[in-house]
Amino acid sequence: MLARPRRLTRGDDYRFVVRRGGRCAGAHTVTHVVMTAEPRAARFGFIVSKAVGDAVTRNTVRRRLKAVCAEALPDVRDGADVVIRALPSSATATYPELRAEVTRCLARRAAREGVAS
């Protein structure tokens, strides 16, 4: 799982990443990435709305996304802020489908994003 320093916790941080970050959409998720020049570990945040399903389903999706990000952590540059928004179809997606989609988006965004000032 992701330790606290690796998570986005403030609403302002979520808003900044979603509004200013590069976006990569897939069938089950939308990934927003902002590269900063800050010397800190990459941070991740997750948005799983009620449209995804009941509480059990939302928590399952969130846990799967956290596990995917923990696996992808070595490939994400330091200073990156990532927000992953789960779409309703993520409720029926398998773990390998979510992993493939998120890792593709992270690799794509990391290749395109420069360091923000």
Query: What CATH number has the domain bearing residue 19?
Result: 3.30.230.10
Q: What is the pTM of this model?
A: 0.88
Residue 115: pLDDT above 80?
no
Round to whole Å and give the CA distance between 53 and 74: 31
pLDDT given at position 78: 87
Look up tokens 């927003």; give the residue: 32
Please report which residue ranges of the chain form alpha helices under DSSP H.
11-20, 55-72, 95-112
> Is 26 among the domain residues?
yes
Q: How far apart are the first and last CA of the chain?
A: 30
Q: Can you name the residues that pair with 31 across neighbouring β-strands?
A: 24, 84
> Is 23 among the domain residues?
yes
Its domain, for residue 64, covers: 4-112
Number of folded domains that form the chain: 1
pLDDT, one tens digit per residue, over 12-28 is 999 999 999 899 999 99
Residues 6 or more apart in contact with residue 85 via CB below 8 angstroms: 18, 29, 30, 31, 32, 46, 47, 48
How much is the mean pLDDT over the chain? 89
> Is 24 among the domain residues?
yes
Structure tokens, 101 = 């989609």
Higher pLDDT, 9 or 1: 9
> Is 11 among the domain residues?
yes
> Is 117 among the domain residues?
no
